[in-house]
Amino acid sequence: MNASIRNYVLRPAALADLDAIVALVGSLTDSLTSLPQEPDFILRRIHKSMHSFYPHVDAPGSEQYLFVLDGPDGVVGISAIIARVGGYQPFYTFEITHEDFTHGPLGIAKKIPTLSLKLNHDGPSEIGSLYLHPNHRRDGLGRLLSLGRFLFMAQFPHRFRGQTLAELRGYLDENGDSPFWQRVGKPFFETEFTDADFLSGLGNKSFIRDLMPRHPFYTNLLPPDVQEVIGRVHHQTEPAKALIEAEGFSTINEVDIFDAGPILQAETRSIRTIAARRNFRIAGLVDEEALPGTPWHAANRALEFRACIARAEVEEGKCLLSSRAAQTLQLGLGDTVQLAPARPPSAVTSS
């Protein structure tokens, strides 16, 4: 394991992280829909996240858990979990359905895709707000930032729904414009894609309810270049899509209402990291170099969550853990650590 990743930890965002998160989000060329480049909004988001980690949560509600990846250079990444989409502010998508058109005498039998606005007030959990600074996209740090949060879900399943979705960034052209928005959204909203995306990120959903097309429409009436981007991800999002597909997520028949990006979903308990996660009692703390080189995602079991990349040797409910990892996780001899393979078995074998 590369020594450069030993001092990185995934943990809940704190008020002291505000400036670092603002700077990190400000380095984006495209904004995160769920985390606009607004310091006041980010401050409120941190406050909401801190409240979400409070102990007395019995069922998934409006909680929004914000995590940061912290290392020697400070905060270099963010990711989040929303306990339940919908609620007071509905979760909007376009649902893809098909309508049959047949005529025997002419030998015509076809299914035409349609898009219909869908509102969900009681939806699944959602993972999102994933961003890792380009200078740190190495040595499995992106995997830790994305997959490490599943260990929090594994430890506190009552805080999350039985299904988890991921709404991925849709295709944008070389000018940063969404072909789908230009043809479908802009004629109704009379605003640019980035402006609508920004308003949605701030939580202003009323304009969607008032202005979005209310009736289904046939996608074959759209220009071919618009049809082909429905369900297509932004090129920078392709690695994230492949990562969660390897975790068991698959596309559903819904897309984002602004850029037609794909929506993937999985049964929460069947997500690879959650299903593979096991608890081990720490039977010994040893030097990292004395342990096998296969990386694990390791985490404590506390609401003061910590996760890192670690080396470990496991056997029958107990493990030897590196002293460095134990210190990062704020654990000691005899404590219990969560461990999940950092990569699927096939990926480990082929690498």
Is there a domain that residue 109 lies in?
no
Answer with the one of 273, 288, 319 that is the final residue of a domain.
273
pLDDT at 196: 56
Is there a domain that residue 238 lies in?
yes
pLDDT for 36 beyond 90: no
Do 189 and 311 share a structural domain? Answer: no
Residues paired with residue 320 on neighbouring β-strands, in sequence order: 284, 313
* DSSP per-residue codes, 6-61: TT-EEEE--GGGHHHHHHHHHT-SS-BTTB-S-HHHHHHHHHHHHHHTSS---S-S
Out of 26-40, 101-115, 317-331, least confident range = 26-40
Residue range 278-289: mean pLDDT, rounded: 96
pLDDT band for 335, please (50, 70, 90 cuts): very high
Higher pLDDT, 198 or 59: 59
pLDDT for 89 beyond 90: no
Answer with the one of 273, 290, 310 that is the final residue of a domain.
273
Distance between alpha carbon 338 and the CA centroid of its chain, in Å?
Answer: 21
pLDDT at 3: 56
Do 161 and 45 share a structural domain? Answer: yes
Is there a domain that residue 107 lies in?
no
Distance, CA of 143 to CA of 148 (rounded, Å): 7
List pLDDT tens digits, range 106-137.
Answer: 888 889 999 999 988 899 999 999 999 999 99
Do 265 and 310 share a structural domain? Answer: no
pLDDT for 228 beyond 60: yes
Do 161 and 89 share a structural domain? Answer: yes
Do 203 and 82 share a structural domain? Answer: yes
| pTM score, whole prediction | 0.91
Do 120 and 157 share a structural domain? Answer: yes
How many structural domains does the chain have?
A: 2
Residue range 194-212: mean pLDDT, rounded: 62
Which residues have a Cβ under 8 Å from the Cβ of 67 and sit 6 or more positions away? 10, 11, 12, 13, 78, 79, 80, 81, 145, 148, 149, 152, 305
Write the CA distances from 328 to 89, 172, 241, 298, integer angstroms: 38, 39, 29, 10
Residue range 100-110: mean pLDDT, rounded: 88
pLDDT for 202 beyond 90: no
Rounded percentage of the chain residues whose pLDDT exceeds 70: 90
Active site residues: 234
280 CB burial (10 A radius; 0-12, 13-18, 19+): buried
pLDDT at 32: 63
Alpha helices, DSSP H, located in 204-308: 206-211, 224-227, 238-246, 272-276
Q: Which segments of 104-205 are extended strands (E)?
A: 108-122, 125-132, 163-167
Higher pLDDT, 146 or 37: 146
Distance, CA of 37 to CA of 21 (rounded, Å): 10
State the residue range of the domain holding 202: 3-100+114-273
Higher pLDDT, 2 or 268: 268
What CATH number did the domain enclosing 239 receive?
A: 3.40.630.30
pLDDT at 33: 62
pLDDT at 348: 47
List pLDDT tens digits, range 139-193.
Answer: 899 999 999 999 999 999 999 999 999 999 999 988 888 999 899 888 877 666 5
List pLDDT tens digits, range 43-88.
Answer: 999 999 999 999 999 999 999 999 999 999 999 999 999 999 987 7
Residue range 225-237: mean pLDDT, rounded: 93
292 CB burial (10 A radius; 0-12, 13-18, 19+): exposed
Counting runs of H as helices and runs of E as strands, what totals does the chain give?
12, 16
Which residues have a Cβ under 8 Å from the Cβ of 110 and sit 6 or more positions away? 100, 101, 102
Q: What is the mean pLDDT of the chain?
A: 90
